């Protein structure tokens, strides 16, 4: 067992220590042009330094595991000296100080670790545990909560946080109230006095004295369940869970209706992942008090761990009825609804949580995930935008934000956030998907292997399967895309986006009848959406004539079907039948002037027919912050460019770049406008970007080359 532990530590250390020497490696790379031998020597030196540090860490961990604390301390001290900007040395010495009762020394070491790595769950966990041992409950909860937010899947962090909260709850209950809560007769004056003393000792952080006083009081009052309960809380605060459990069970033996003891016993079993034992205790608790939301939530949690989300929903529904303003409870309720594929109800629950507490992070992020699943990146981005003002650097937030930016084409921001989230928590599915999506956008071949690796680790994760299906569809591997889409739909049959993707995948494979059947099985609230999808099947199956006839027939049968009219206009536009397309679009806008996608398509049509001023007039009616509005800036910029209004064109292209990458033709226009206004440096940068895209069109490549040749002459004339 120890060998396995050390092997794991060695691998982890290699990952942790490597960044320490990245700056040295970079310096060597920069010096490579002057002396290749220096670079090689520097790289070998960095590699040797990492190996040395790993060996020191192995020795320290081995000594620590064997109880040789003095030797372990020496090795951790060496680690600190060799790598002062790494937290492992501080954490090791802090743990030893805590074990040896040097609490303030431990606090100093672990505070330094948190200062170095504020986003490390280990550092926050150790510091929070130390504050807990010192009885500084508010500080303990603060750091343990941050650790839990960073790494929510670690039960030991959740358990410590629950312990701190329980102790805080116990210390805030007056002795008299304690007797009332547990449905027993009022305590005797001596017993109440003893509990009051313990209460004062707890709140002052003097845990050891509290235990001594409680032991004496328990001997004097052996029939007091409250004293047994207090002893259990004190042992729990010290981390002695087995002894705590003994005293909680003693309290329950003395008073089978001691609800607080039932609460603590259930919490301990839940923290130990002993869900069978926890469920028995929770059943007893619910039998005593079915109207306790904590008991109902605990029961729901047991069902969640068993994967029985339907039964979990039943208990969460009751818990929410009992505690309707509990935002954390509502968040869990929404997640359980999502697990069952009921995104509609989940969305309403998350929105309700945000109405109660607009600054709540978790429901806001979970609501954004629903929008992302429905391919509504703009809505998702708007939902999480308030969190950006808080300068949040938590992994889940950064991963969700990266997904929003990636799907809106904002590659630079997406790259920064996805890299940061992935480095902090590389095993979090959302972080993996965000990173994979960014890699995919940059044409990096590592995107698919990363997702397949995540699939092996999380075979039932819908987000991973969905991203895999989309990734395979993008590269034309429709067989694998279909497999992933079907697997995702077995987990969530109501996932609208995935159901539509499956229809598209089938259509692209020429499986038209199967695609029609699949489209008809989707539960749309409006039957017209099924008809639209049938038409899309024909388009994707490359049956353009049939598609045109299909949509024309829909419009002839129902002139109010503006969506069918828009699809027909799109097909006419793609075929270059601008006159027919314009007629369709003008009819749509006459019926509904607010249909911005139709107005945007009309503006594109007017641009293609060289009616630039008319196109600008149509664009002026589109709301800037809408999804259609984001697409206007590039068409607007193109129109201004054609009208030789170069400064307006520059503003338009700059605005467009904030939302998506420009294509080579747009970059050439942008560079030309910059050249005409004398900004030659910026023009060169845009041309370099255009060249980096490796345009296939020979005429585009020749335009780039000609413009690059013209720039020096322009500079010379300008100098004259």
What is the DSSP track for 3-48? HHHHHHHHHHHHHHHGGGGHHHHHHHHHGGGT-HHHHHHHHHHHHH
The residue among 384, 533, 349, 369 whose CA lies nearest residue 462 is 369
Instruction: Report residue 494 CA to chain centroid gap.
Output: 22
Contacts 24+ apart (CB under 8 A), 200-203: 202/135, 202/167, 202/170, 202/171, 202/234, 203/171
Q: What percent of the chain has pLDDT over 70?
A: 81
Say if residue 21's pLDDT is above 50. Answer: no
State if pTM tops 0.95. no
Q: What pLDDT, on a 0 to 100 scale, did the predictor assign at position 175?
A: 34
- Using left for φ > 0, alpha for ψ between -120 and 50, and beta otherwise, residue 443 falls in left
Give the angle subtended at the CA of 192 by the CAs of 190 and 193, to the nearest 5°: 65
- 46 phi/psi in degrees, rounded to 5: -60, -45
Query: CATH 1.10.1270.20: does it fit domain 173-273?
Result: no
Task: Grade residue 105 by pLDDT with cuts at 50, 70 and 90.
Answer: confident
Say if residue 460's pLDDT is above 50. Answer: yes
Q: Per-residue pLDDT averaged across 483-508, rounded? A: 87
Quick: pLDDT tens for 259-291.
888 988 998 898 888 999 999 999 999 998 888
How far apart (Å, rounded) are the C-alpha atoms in residues 97 and 580?
81
Q: What pLDDT, on a 0 to 100 scale, did the predictor assign at position 151?
A: 76
Q: What pLDDT, on a 0 to 100 scale, did the predictor assign at position 67?
A: 66
Say if residue 33's pLDDT is above 70. Answer: no
- Do the Cβ atoms of 409 and 630 come closer than 8 Å? no
Highest mean pLDDT among 79-83, 94-98, 291-295, 598-602: 598-602
The residue among 503, 555, 507, 552 whose CA lies nearest residue 530 is 503
- Do the Cβ atoms of 310 and 333 come closer than 8 Å? no
- Do the Cβ atoms of 270 and 262 come closer than 8 Å? no
Task: Grade residue 719 by pLDDT with cuts at 50, 70 and 90.
Answer: very low
- Do the Cβ atoms of 168 and 132 come closer than 8 Å? no
Residue ranges of alpha helices (H) inside 411-475 are 411-424, 429-441, 447-457, 462-474
Task: Grade residue 313 by pLDDT with cuts at 50, 70 and 90.
Answer: very high
DSSP symbol at 661: P
Q: How far is CA 129 from CA 77, 103, 106, 157, 539, in A?
A: 22, 11, 10, 9, 61
| Tokens matching residue 48 | 């040797």
* CA dihedral over 513, 518, 521, 525, signed as positive or negative: negative
Q: Per-residue pLDDT averaged across 231-236, rounded? A: 78
Q: Per-residue pLDDT averaged across 605-627, rounded? A: 89
Q: What pLDDT, on a 0 to 100 scale, did the predictor assign at position 45?
A: 56
Q: Per-residue pLDDT averaged across 29-45, rounded? A: 47
- Average pLDDT, rounded, for the chain: 80
Q: How far is CA 200 from CA 135, 173, 204, 206, 213, in A?
A: 12, 11, 6, 9, 11
Cβ neighbourhood burial of 405 (10 Å; 0-12, 13-18, 19+): buried
- Do the Cβ atoms of 651 and 670 come closer than 8 Å? no
Give the count of beta carbons closer than 10 Å to the beta carbon of residue 713.
Answer: 9
Say if residue 185's pLDDT is above 60. Answer: no
- Do the Cβ atoms of 478 and 472 come closer than 8 Å? yes
Q: How far is CA 77 from CA 84, 98, 153, 499, 621, in A?
A: 10, 16, 31, 57, 68
Q: Which CATH superfamily is domain 459-542 in?
A: Tetratricopeptide repeat domain (1.25.40.10)
- Using left for φ > 0, alpha for ψ between -120 and 50, and beta otherwise, residue 44 falls in alpha
Q: What pLDDT, on a 0 to 100 scale, did the predictor assign at position 44?
A: 56
Q: Per-residue pLDDT averaged across 685-694, rounded? A: 85
How far apart (Å, rounded) are the C-alpha atoms in residues 332 and 316?
8
| Tokens matching residue 209 | 């004295």
Q: Where are the domains of the chain?
A: 2-153, 173-273, 393-444, 459-542, 672-720
Task: Grade residue 545 by pLDDT with cuts at 50, 70 and 90.
Answer: very high
Q: How far is CA 267 from CA 163, 176, 232, in A?
A: 9, 24, 12
Say if residue 179's pLDDT is above 50. Answer: no
Say if residue 22's pLDDT is above 70. Answer: no
Length of the chain: 720
- Do the Cβ atoms of 569 and 561 come closer than 8 Å? no
Q: Which CATH superfamily is domain 2-153 in?
A: Tetratricopeptide repeat domain (1.25.40.10)
The DSSP string of 513-533 is HHHHHHHHTS--SSHHHHHHH
* Range with the poorest average pLDDT among 24-28, 342-346, 454-458, 618-622: 24-28
- Do the Cβ atoms of 89 and 77 come closer than 8 Å? yes
How far apart (Å, rounded) are the C-alpha atoms in residues 656 and 672?
16
- Do the Cβ atoms of 207 and 238 come closer than 8 Å? yes
**Cα dihedral angle (90, 91, 92, 93), rounded to 10 degrees?**
50
How far apart (Å, rounded) are the C-alpha atoms in residues 522 and 49?
59
Residue ranges of alpha helices (H) inside 558-626 are 562-574, 578-591, 596-608, 612-619
Q: Per-residue pLDDT averaged across 160-180, rounded? A: 52
Burial 230-239 (b: 16+ CB within 10 A, else e): bbbbbbbbbe
Which positions ≥6 away from 592 have C-beta within 8 Å? Answer: 562, 598
Task: Grade residue 713 by pLDDT with cuts at 50, 70 and 90.
Answer: low
| Tokens matching residue 577 | 């039948």
DSSP symbol at 391: T
Quick: pLDDT tens for 516-539.
999 999 887 778 889 999 999 999
Which positions ≥6 away from 497 have C-beta within 8 Å? Answer: 373, 374, 375, 466
- 98 phi/psi in degrees, rounded to 5: -65, -45
Q: What percent of the chain has pLDDT over 90?
A: 28
Question: Do the first three CATH levels of 173-273 and 459-542 match, i.e. the same topology?
Answer: yes
Say if residue 620's pLDDT is above 60. Answer: yes
Q: What pLDDT, on a 0 to 100 scale, did the predictor assign at position 173?
A: 39
18 or 105: which leads in pLDDT: 105
* Range with the poorest average pLDDT among 129-138, 156-165, 279-288: 156-165
Task: Grade residue 18 by pLDDT with cuts at 50, 70 and 90.
Answer: very low
Which positions ≥6 away from 642 have C-beta within 8 Å? Answer: 607, 610, 612
The span from the first CA to the last CA of the chain, in angstroms, equals: 79
- Do the Cβ atoms of 400 and 385 come closer than 8 Å? no
């Amino acid at each position: 067992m120890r060998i396995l532990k050390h092997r794991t530590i060695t691998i982890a250390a290699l990952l942790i220590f490597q960044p320490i020497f990245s700056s040295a490696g970079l310096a060597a790379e920069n010096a490579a042009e002057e002396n290749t031998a220096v670079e090689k020597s520097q790289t070998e030196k960095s590699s040797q330094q990492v190996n040395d540090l790993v060996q020191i860490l192995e020795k320290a961990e081995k000594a620590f595991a064997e109880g040789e604390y003095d030797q372990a301390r020496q090795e951790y001290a060496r680690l600190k000296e060799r790598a002062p900007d790494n937290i492992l040395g501080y954490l090791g010495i802090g743990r030893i100080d805590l074990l040896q009762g040097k609490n303030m020394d431990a606090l100093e070491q672990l505070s330094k670790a948190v200062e170095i790595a504020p986003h490390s769950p280990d550092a926050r966990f150790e510091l929070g545990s130390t504050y807990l041992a010192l009885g500084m409950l508010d500080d303990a909860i603060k750091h343990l909560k941050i650790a839990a937010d960073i790494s929510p899947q670690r039960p030991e962090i959740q358990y410590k946080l629950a312990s701190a909260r329980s102790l805080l709850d116990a210390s805030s209950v007056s002795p008299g109230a304690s007797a009332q809560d547990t449905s027993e007769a009022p305590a005797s004056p001596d017993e109440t006095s003893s509990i009051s003393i313990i209460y004062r000792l707890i709140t002052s952080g003097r845990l050891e004295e509290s235990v001594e006083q409680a032991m004496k009081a328990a001997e004097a009052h052996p029939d007091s369940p409250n004293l047994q309960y207090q002893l259990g809380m004190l042992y729990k605060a010290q981390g002695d869970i087995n002894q705590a459990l003994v005293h909680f069970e003693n309290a329950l033996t003395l008073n089978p209706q001691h609800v607080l003891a039932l609460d603590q016993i259930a919490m301990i079993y839940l923290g130990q992942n002993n869900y069978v034992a926890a469920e028995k205790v929770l059943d007893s608790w619910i039998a005593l008090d079915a109207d306790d939301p904590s008991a109902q939530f605990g029961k729901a949690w047991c069902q969640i761990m068993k994967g029985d989300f339907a039964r979990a929903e039943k208990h969460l529904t009751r818990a929410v009825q009992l505690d309707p303003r509990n935002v954390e409870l509502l968040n869990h309720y929404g997640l359980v609804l999502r697990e069952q594929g009921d995104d509609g109800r989940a969305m309403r629950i998350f929105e309700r949580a945000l109405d109660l507490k607009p600054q709540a992070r978790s429901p806001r992020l979970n609501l954004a995930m629903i929008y992302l699943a429905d391919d509504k990146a703009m809505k998702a981005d708007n939902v999480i935008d308030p969190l950006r003002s808080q300068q949040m650097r938590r992994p889940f937030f950064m991963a969700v934000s990266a997904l929003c930016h990636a799907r809106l084409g904002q590659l630079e921001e997406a790259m920064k956030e996805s890299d940061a989230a992935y480095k902090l928590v590389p095993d979090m599915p959302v972080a993996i998907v965000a990173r994979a999506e960014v890699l995919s956008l940059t044409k990096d071949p590592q995107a698919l292997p990363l997702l397949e690796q995540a699939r092996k680790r999380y075979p039932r994760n819908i987000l991973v399967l969905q991203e895999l299906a989309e990734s395979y569809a993008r590269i034309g591997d429709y067989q694998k895309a279909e497999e992933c889409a079907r697997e995702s739909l077995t987990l969530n049959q109501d996932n609208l986006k995935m159901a539509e993707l499956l229809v598209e995948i089938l259509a692209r494979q020429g499986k038209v009848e199967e695609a029609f059947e699949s489209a008809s099985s989707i539960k749309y609230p409006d039957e017209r959406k099924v008809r639209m999808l049938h038409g899309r099947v024909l388009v994707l199956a490359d049956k353009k004539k049939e598609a045109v006839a299909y949509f024309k027939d829909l419009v002839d049968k129902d002139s109010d079907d503006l969506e069918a009219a828009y699809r027909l206009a799109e097909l006419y536009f793609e075929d270059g039948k601008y006159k027919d397309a314009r007629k369709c679009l003008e009819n749509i806008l006459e019926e509904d002037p607010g249909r911005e996608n139709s107005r945007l398509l009309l503006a594109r049509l007017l641009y293609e027919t060289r009616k630039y001023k008319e196109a600008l007039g149509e664009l002026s009616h589109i709301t800037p912050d809408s999804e259609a509005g984001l697409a206007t800036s590039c068409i607007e910029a193109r129109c201004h460019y054609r009208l030789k209004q170069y400064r307006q064109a520059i503003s338009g292209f700059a605005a467009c770049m904030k939302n998506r990458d420009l294509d080579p033709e747009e970059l050439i226009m942008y560079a030309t406008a910059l050249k005409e206004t004398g900004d030659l440096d910026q023009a060169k940068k845009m041309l370099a970007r255009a060249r980096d895209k490796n345009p296939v069109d020979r005429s585009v490549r020749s335009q780039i080359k000609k413009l690059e040749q013209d720039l020096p002459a322009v500079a010379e004339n300008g100098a004259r």
